[in-house]
Amino acid sequence: MNLDQLRGFAEVAREGNFTRASENLHLAQPSLSRQIAALEHDLGAELFTRARGGSTLTAAGESLLPLAKRMLADADSVRRELAELAGLQRGTVRLGATPTLCISLVAEVLKDFHAEHPGVELHLSEHGSRRLLDQLAGGELDLALITTSHATTAERFTVSPLLVEELVLISSAAAPPVAPGATLSLSQAAALPQIVFSRSYDLRAATDEAFALAGLTPDVVLEGAEMDAVLRFVERGLGVAIVPAMVLIDRPGLRSLRLAGPPLTRTISLARPRDVTPSRAVQVMQRTVATTARAFASRATATMRPA
């Protein structure tokens, strides 16, 4: 068994097709087929059920896949660490984050990190928390910015809380205020025309739960939008939305209102695989994320503009 065989096996499992996998690996299909056949011979078990429509994992293949992903991730980690020590490169960091954080905190983190360490190669994955944890477990990421609620029972990860984010209601700064004061109740918010996120967003689940617990049904005028679109629609007066306070930074076209009663919050945390020693570049990124998060949270509080 060697790493080339495992890499070929993992790619065929991902694509479900030898031809596409060989193209992704820049390898002739017969060579890839021989690699997989040699791996199956060494293990004494067939790894794929081959058919005209594609290739699916056998029970043995299903058992091998998570192990293969972990071995490949460990090999990549060792290769990056040795390259750093040899001075061949400054390293690589694979960071994941939720969509709401990618347009706010992550942009600041990457700007600060790249300014100090321009030689480090950066890779970003934008998904919901659950998918990011799957990528961490599969060795596809080094770090992930997630909502903590998704990691409370995940023993495979080291999870470090960074900040507690307040959720606020935003409206267009060009339109009349939606309420006379600096706060409004959740029932008042529910009566306003709401722009709500795609159900893949962690934020959507949090707001849906808050309304449901209060026995409220919000007046939805648009459903399924992504964060950038939601903010643009609100700026243009299509409706209001409930978002993290930090997205208000550098957006003068938005007003904000705090929600009365117990505040709606979510905890943002940094997760990494518990059983993988982080490279030097990843350790520096961890420190940069923590420092930037504290500064960014202070800016978010200062830039809230009540209606």
SS in 3 state form for the chain?
CCHHHHHHHHHHHHHCCHHHHHHHCCCCHHHHHHHHHHHHHHHCCCCEEEECCEEEECHHHHHHHHHHHHHHHHHHHHHHHHHHHHCCCCCEEEEEECHHHHCCHHHHHHHHHHHHCCCCEEEEEECCHHHHHHHHHCCCCCEEEEEHHHCCCCCCEEEEEEEEEEEEEEEECCCCCCCCCCEECHHHHHHCEEEEECCCCHHHHHHHHHHHHCCCCCEEEEEEECHHHHHHHHHCCCCEEEEEHHHHCCCCCEEEEEECCCCCEEEEEEEEECCCCCCHHHHHHHHHHHHHHHHHHHHHHHCCCEC
pTM assigned to the model: 0.64
Q: What is the pLDDT of residue 30?
A: 92
Q: What is the pLDDT of residue 307?
A: 43
Q: Where are the domains of the chain?
A: 3-67, 84-161+267-302, 164-265
Q: What is the pLDDT of residue 1?
A: 77
Give pLDDT tens digits for 95-148. 999 888 888 889 889 998 888 778 788 999 998 888 999 999 888 999 999 987
Question: Topology of 84-161+267-302 in CATH?
Answer: D-Maltodextrin-Binding Protein; domain 2 (3.40.190)
Q: Which CATH architecture has domain 3-67?
A: Orthogonal Bundle (1.10)
Ranges in the chain, pLDDT < 50: 87-88, 151-153, 305-307
Would you say 262 and 166 are in contact if contact means Cβ atoms under 8 Å apart?
Answer: no
Q: What is the pLDDT of residue 275?
A: 84
Orientation angle between helical segments 280-302 and 59-86, nearest 10 degrees = 90
Q: What is the pLDDT of residue 47?
A: 95
Terminal Cα distance for the chain, rounded = 64
CATH annotation of 164-265: 3.40.190.290
84-161+267-302 and 164-265 agree in CATH topology = yes
